[in-house]
């Protein structure tokens, strides 16, 4: 949401409570239909790992999925990333990357699929609103060892082997209302479907992180703390996203279209940038040339040295010649050793 819509939504949240009750009832009925076998579930036939969350965004799911894909590839497990392709025109299933960069435009694939395609070397990326159909395409084309599903925790028709639920300590899901009065897609009790909980933003909210660790542990779930930290500045090149050298701007104008824009502001501050202005766009926003021209004008008015955004935003920005560098602050994910040991124990034996 942009700031004005966010403020309006915050003010009007109590008015949405009746719709939240209706929505919650529909969510519970749907889940019960799958649990009782009234609606069929299906396994893709290859070891499947789902990364998801309970909220509408901003938990850190994308950087966690990227890190898992890289780790699985390093293990020689032949992962394929499968996601819905939110914001893209393609209904799928569609191969976005064969492991060597994107084959389609961001308008077709969506921004998150484009980020995976440009960041992951050797890891194919497939999108499809029907995740099972996308998995069938992935199995035919790539003979994967692991299917890694991004944001499929609520895709109940899919029966996977492992479910990792990413939860940010920035908010307490046990006190957050359901959509549309709040950000929750499901009641927090749905976490019992998870195989493990990955807590992010724990260093920013230590007290809440400790409380969440205790609540999820009481549900009998393994809980691991995952660190997200700002990485190097990257630029967009024909071959993908790569770190840039020789550019060390300090005074910047920043912008983003993500679920938690304040986390981006904190990351910039942690890296020592002086943020002269931060503009927030709706999540998955499709940038237009006039947006970039306006941001460049703002940066020049404030004597900024660069425009900074997120990797997820940079991959879908149209080429617009500007007077200042346009860069992204990468995000590094530190997966704890205890979690990686636990995860490796869950994986099937490696092939010969």
58 known ligand binder: yes
- 140 contact partners, CB below 8 Å, separation of at least 6: none
CA-to-CA distance for 131 and 126, rounded, in angstroms? 9
Q: Which of 7, 285, 52 is nearest to 162 (CA)?
A: 52
218 known ligand binder: no
137 known ligand binder: no
CA-to-CA distance for 253 and 233, rounded, in angstroms? 14
Block residue for tokens 């927030």:
280
Q: Which residues pair with 98 in a beta bridge?
A: none
324 known ligand binder: no
Query: Which tokens is 233 given?
Result: 């500045």
CA-to-CA distance for 281 and 303, rounded, in angstroms? 22
Q: Which of 147, 178, 145 is nearest to 160 (CA)?
A: 147
CA-to-CA distance for 60 and 211, rounded, in angstroms? 19
User: Would you say 301 and 323 are in contact if contact means Cβ atoms under 8 Å apart?
Assistant: no
Q: What is the DSSP letter of 176?
A: P
61 known ligand binder: yes
Residue 184, helix vs strand vs coil: strand
Block residue for tokens 């994986």:
347
Q: Which residues pair with 199 in a beta bridge?
A: 167, 225
In the chain, alpha helices (H): 3-12, 17-35, 61-74, 106-109, 111-119, 131-142, 206-218, 261-270, 289-301, 311-314, 337-346
298 known ligand binder: no
Across the chain, the runs of DSSP E, i.e. the strands, are: 48-52, 79-83, 94-97, 125-127, 146-150, 162-168, 196-200, 223-225, 227-237, 240-243, 251-256, 274-280, 306-310, 326-334
CA-to-CA distance for 312 and 57, rounded, in angstroms? 13
**Binding region:** 55-62
Binding residues for ATP, by number, are: 55-62
């Amino acid at each position: 949401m942009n700031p004005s819509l966010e403020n309006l939504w915050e003010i009007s949240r109590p008015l949405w409570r009746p719709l939240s009750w209706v929505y919650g009832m529909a969510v519970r009925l749907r889940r019960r239909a799958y649990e009782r076998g009234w609606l069929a579930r299906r396994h893709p036939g290859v070891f499947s790992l789902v990364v998801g969350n309970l909220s509408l965004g901003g938990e850190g799911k994308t950087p966690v999925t990227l890190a898992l894909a890289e780790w699985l590839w390093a293990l020689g497990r032949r992962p394929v990333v499968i996601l819905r392709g939110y914001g893209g025109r393609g209904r799928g299933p569609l191969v976005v990357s064969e492991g060597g960069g994107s084959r389609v435009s961001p308008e077709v694939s969506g921004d998150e699929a484009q980020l995976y395609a440009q960041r992951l070397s050797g890891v194919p990326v497939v999108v499809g609103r029907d995740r099972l159909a996308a998995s069938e395409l992935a199995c035919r084309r790539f003979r994967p060892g692991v299917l890694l599903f991004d944001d499929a925790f609520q895709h109940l028709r899919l029966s996977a082997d492992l479910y990792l639920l990413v939860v940010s300590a920035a908010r307490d899901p046990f006190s957050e209302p359901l959509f549309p009065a709040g950000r929750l897609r499901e009641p927090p009790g749905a976490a019992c479907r998870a195989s493990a909980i990955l807590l992010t933003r724990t260093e920013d909210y230590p007290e809440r992180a400790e409380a969440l660790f205790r609540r999820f542990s009481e549900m009998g779930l393994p809980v691991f703390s995952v660190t997200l930290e700002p990485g190097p500045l990257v630029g967009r090149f024909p071959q993908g996203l790569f770190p840039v050298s020789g550019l060390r701007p300090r005074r910047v104008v920043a912008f983003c279209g993500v679920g938690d824009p304040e986390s981006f502001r904190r990351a910039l501050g942690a890296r020592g940038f002086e943020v002269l202005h931060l503009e927030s766009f709706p999540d998955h926003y499709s940038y237009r040339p006039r947006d970039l021209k306006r941001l460049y004008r703002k940066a020049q008015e404030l004597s900024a040295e660069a425009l900074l955004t997120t990797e997820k935003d940079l991959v879908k920005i149209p080429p617009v010649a500007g007077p200042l560098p346009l860069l992204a602050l990468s995000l590094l994910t530190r997966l704890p050793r205890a979690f990686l040991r636990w995860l490796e124990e869950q994986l099937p034996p490696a092939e010969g």
